[in-house]
Chain A
């Protein structure tokens, strides 16, 4: 069948079973939008800014096992998309971004709305393509989806010049992809896995540390089974929350800069550390030199060889698909004649419980002023722990991660790697479209929410009943916290005057807005909000301006140098 390039693009998306495309039209993609108009399989979500299109597609992907798709025009459309693409790249989210480009003859002529999109996005995509011939569109899009979701996932960009989308050719969607230069490893090395299992059984102070890889690989079930078989303590990173049920006794909470005392101590003083789909990030282990002071054997399972021995030396590296490797570990454990060292494990758990008894997450609640931790706890109660929670970046993000207990994967969406303010609302949009029956709440702050606030309009158009919990402290809270602790309380540009009345703003967009000022009103407001099944409700919580996120490991310090509360300062 002879089709235009634009029609081929849409047919390819249909072949890939894409339900939603998040995008914004413009000159270079007019033919593609025309092709979109003439069908009803692929639905388009019109955002208000291209950055939000990419974030929403990203949120869609994070909350499902599918590839997120965004469509933007050339020039400013593409540059606006860059923050979204980089955000997805840093968290390894499978996405395909289709961008329009000026006609091939105009490339390099400084044409209207021309930028070198492939050049600009090169460092923040898994791969990108410029399609110069209509005959290459189908095979390129096939490759793009394949690259995005296999191996270590990531965003792939396909740049299509306007004339290419207008030209015609015979359409046939390739059934398979084969690339001699790209063959991601799936099966882990048997011998290495055997070594790992042996080491785990011999451990006296074992610890399991897992990251976003577990969520991406859909390996939570295997991880949970393995962890329970071993009976070892476990911690999930910010990106890995929900990888193991947070309400389980073996779970020690999140590690790292704002992690729990018990998780950090157990990481630090373990003698065998099993790292799965995590990357020993600076926000997790702090100073690598401090971390290296304690002798321990490290087993590191990851799909990406370059993540292994990047920041810490690893003793048993295992490259492979996490699900596959964990299943093999379970198989070998079941067959192993040896059992773990019960005496040593008992002593170790006693130590862990002692650390846990410090109750580092305790905070002083108030009857007078709303504490942010209290809001998140109430949110957890009111939603029964079953909501999808998105967040922006800053103090509220940490409080959400600390106080909402995630028992399942893909329920917690945040920008962990790039730390992009503004993702919360578009993530919630993508997640709500992907999970229509599920409660979706965005925990945000008055600064972050304003970075993509225009999307309240999109939410109205697409009837998205999101619940936005704005922890409003009138400060760039995390910046204020660092200025208080490390910059002599000089609050340089971290206070925001002239904030809008968010409740009224929400109403102006056609939504429901509440302003909550008293702790006693928090639960009622949340219940009211979630009872409004069809409405987007913006809950503007006026919280304590001076509240800080604890515990805390200062940047550049080691895990053992934690500040547990303001009294430690």
Chain B
């Protein structure tokens, strides 16, 4: 089962490697991991997408909680939540493809944020499946490069992860 685990961690050097080291040492999967400071700069928020049986997910949350620098851990996928990911795609945009790419961006409500005479950079935000759908809708030969931020997520309504 796929799970999205959010955690607050002290914003200190080495904190990220404690988390990633835990996953590799214990053989847990990481599908994606994002991290950045929160509004309180002394703390970072991490979103980890992982897969595993209920037993494994229970161990993952317990092991994360055990890390001294981890302040709080929540499996946000246990209840209603929102996930978003950002993708930047650089595509070839010449001749008739120029118009086609623009149309595709419109259909997916993406934005073209960089234009040259031969390429566009398209910015798209959404959940994972929307990003996947956009990629598969494009002609692979036209994709020059893509970069995805990894998933970040937040619980709906009054489910709040805060100290």
Please, what's the 1-or-0 string for B1-44, where 1 marks a CB less than 8 Å from any CB in chain A?
Answer: 00000000110011001100100010000000000000000000
A295-321 with Cβ < 8 A to chain B: 304-306, 309-310
Complex: A127 Cα to B21 Cα, angstroms: 13
**Known contacts A122-B21, A181-B10; A127 and B163 CB within 8 A of each other:** no
Which segment of B66-74, B97-105, B111-119, B148-156 sits at the interface? Answer: B66-74
**Known contacts A122-B14, A122-B21; A182 and B58 CB within 8 A of each other:** no
Q: Is the CB of A180 within 8 A of B62?
A: no
- The yes or no answer to B146 lying at the interface (CB within 8 A) is no
Complex: A304 Cα to B69 Cα, angstroms: 16
Complex: A310 Cα to B55 Cα, angstroms: 8
Q: Give the Cβ gap from A41 to chain B, nearest Cβ, in Å.
A: 29
Closest chain B residue, CB of each to CB of A147: B68
Q: Is the CB of A122 within 8 A of B70?
A: no
Complex: A305 Cα to B71 Cα, angstroms: 16
Q: Inside 8 A of A205's CB, which chain B residues have their CB?
A: none
B66 in complex: contacting residue of A118, A122, A179, A306, CB < 8 Å? A306
- Given A122-B17, A123-B25, A126-B68, 7 other A-B contacts at CB below 8 A? A127-B69, A130-B13, A180-B163, A181-B10, A181-B70, A182-B68, A309-B58
Q: Is the CB of B66 within 8 A of A310?
A: no
Query: How many residues from A make CB contacts under 8 Å with B?
Result: 17
Query: How many residues from B make CB contacts under 8 Å with A?
Result: 20
Interface core residue of B62, B69, B70 (most chain A CB under 10 Å): B62
Q: Is the CB of A122 within 8 A of B18?
A: yes
B71 in complex: contacting residue of A119, A126, A181, A304, CB < 8 Å? A181
Interface core residue of A126, A181, A305, A306 (most chain B CB under 10 Å): A181
- The yes or no answer to B65 lying at the interface (CB within 8 A) is yes
Complex: A179 Cα to B65 Cα, angstroms: 14
Complex: A179 Cα to B9 Cα, angstroms: 12
Q: Is the CB of A180 within 8 A of B71?
A: yes
Q: Inside 8 A of A306's CB, which chain B residues have their CB?
A: 59, 62-63, 65-66
Q: Inside 8 A of A310's CB, which chain B residues have their CB?
A: 59
Q: Inside 8 A of A147's CB, which chain B residues have their CB?
A: 68
Interface core residue of A118, A122, A304, A306 (most chain B CB under 10 Å): A306
Complex: A179 Cα to B43 Cα, angstroms: 13
Q: Inside 8 A of B10's CB, which chain A residues have their CB?
A: 181
Complex: A126 Cα to B63 Cα, angstroms: 12
**Known contacts A123-B21, A309-B55, A309-B58; A181 and B66 CB within 8 A of each other:** no
Closest chain A residue, CB of each to CB of B12: A129
Q: Inside 8 A of B21's CB, which chain A residues have their CB?
A: 122-123
Q: Is the CB of B62 within 8 A of A305?
A: yes
Closest chain A residue, CB of each to CB of B70: A181
A161-192 with Cβ < 8 A to chain B: 179-182
Complex: A123 Cα to B21 Cα, angstroms: 7
Closest chain A residue, CB of each to CB of B9: A181
Complex: A119 Cα to B25 Cα, angstroms: 13
Complex: A199 Cα to B70 Cα, angstroms: 35
Task: Please name 10 pairs of A and B residues whose Cβ atoms are closer than 8 Å in the assembled complex, sorted by A.
Answer: A119-B17, A122-B21, A127-B69, A130-B14, A179-B68, A180-B163, A181-B69, A182-B68, A305-B65, A310-B59
Q: Give the Cβ gap from A133 to chain B, nearest Cβ, in Å.
A: 13
Q: Inside 8 A of B70's CB, which chain A residues have their CB?
A: 181
Q: Is the CB of A118 within 8 A of B14?
A: yes
Q: Give the Cβ gap from B70 to chain A, nearest Cβ, in Å.
A: 6
Q: Inside 8 A of B71's CB, which chain A residues have their CB?
A: 180-181
Please, what's the 1-or-0 string for B107-142, where 1 marks a CB less than 8 Å from any CB in chain A?
Answer: 000000000000000000000000000000000000
Q: Give the Cβ gap from A306 to chain B, nearest Cβ, in Å.
A: 4
5 closest A-B pairs by CB: A306-B62, A127-B68, A181-B71, A305-B62, A182-B68
Q: Inside 8 A of B163's CB, which chain A residues have their CB?
A: 180
Q: Inside 8 A of A118's CB, which chain B residues have their CB?
A: 14
Complex: A533 Cα to B10 Cα, angstroms: 53
Closest chain A residue, CB of each to CB of B69: A181
Q: Give the Cβ gap from A148 to chain B, nearest Cβ, in Å.
A: 11
Closest chain A residue, CB of each to CB of B22: A123
Q: Give the Cβ gap from A192 to chain B, nearest Cβ, in Å.
A: 16
Q: Give the Cβ gap from A127 to chain B, nearest Cβ, in Å.
A: 4
Please, what's the 1-or-0 string for B39-81, where 1 marks a CB less than 8 Å from any CB in chain A?
Answer: 0000000000000000100110011011011110000000000
Closest chain B residue, CB of each to CB of A118: B14
